[in-house]
Amino acid sequence: MKTIQKTVIALAASSLLATAAFAQSAPAAAPEAPEVSPITANISLVSDYRYRGISQSNLRPAVQGGFDYSHESGFYIGNWNSSITWVNNLNPGVSSGIEMDFYAGIKKELIGEGFASDFGVLQYYYPTSGNFTSPSVNPNTTELYAAQNYTFGPVTGFLKLSYAVTNTFGNQNSSGSYYPDLTANYDTGIWGLALNGHVGYQYIAGTPAGTTVSNSSLYSYTDWKFGVTKDFGGGLSLAAAYIGTNAKKNGTTYAYVSPAGKNLGGSTGVVTLTKTF
């Protein structure tokens, strides 16, 4: 028994040594890449929720978050939400504390690698209480959009056109409003820093009932942003940006004004902390 045991042990040891020697001489097999989940989620804290240059939170901080599902075919669907306070500015008898965005589309590299084309629909939904009275209407808005993404080495971004097929953010008779915008990001390659730039033009179509003054002359404007983003890794990033618009005054007050009489489209700095899962 002992002799057999010793022989078995010796053979096992020889086998292990041979295996170890082979493992050292042969190239190591590449580890399998972890499977990428088609679902991602994000949450953000922002010092002022600025959308297309206009504060949606009355110049105050906001909490934001959402999730996305992306299929290998290029189809995607998602939801994004933010705390807001601007809806009651349209009408004192109406309030809403949240913006809920629902969107779906398809994104494919039709031109070439790094140049994804994106087509979709976006529904802005604002749960409200109370009734709207003229000249305000429900702020719920539906937009169609088309975007062309681009990549030139460390420079990435997109050119996008959004077109409203309903009234736009509470403006009467404003179907047909549109928003073209250009966004560019430059990866510096230093400390995870990227420079960000953006410019857009919000055109508000139509004329409110019973008036001769067009929405465009009151509420159309250009917005811009210059900023920097720090990627800490692990889905955590911090962004700082300077944002502004040339939104007009409506008579003696601003076209986009807070209950305190402040310009919601005035130039300001915004800080955003984001975690992606």
Q: pLDDT tens digits for 113-126?
A: 999 999 999 999 99
Query: Given a cut of 50, is residue 15 above it in pLDDT?
Result: no
- pTM, two decimals, is 0.84
Q: pLDDT tens digits for 176-211?
A: 999 999 999 999 999 999 999 999 999 999 998 878
Mean pLDDT of 62-66: 98
Using alpha carbons, select from 78, 83, 80 the residue that is nearest to residue 45.
83
Query: Given a cut of 80, is residue 33 above it in pLDDT?
Result: no
Q: pLDDT tens digits for 130-173?
A: 777 766 688 999 999 999 999 999 999 999 999 999 999 989 99
Query: Given a cut of 60, is residue 5 above it in pLDDT?
Result: no
* CATH class of the domain at 40-276: mainly beta
CA 181 to chain centre: 13
Q: What is the DSSP string of 115-176?
A: EEEEEEEEEEE---BS---TTB----EEEEEEEEEEEETTEEEEEEEEEESS-BTTBTT-TT
Torsion (CA) 60, 66, 70, 74 in degrees, nearest 10: -30
pLDDT at residue 1 in the model:
46
Mean pLDDT of 223-251: 95
Mean pLDDT of 248-277: 91
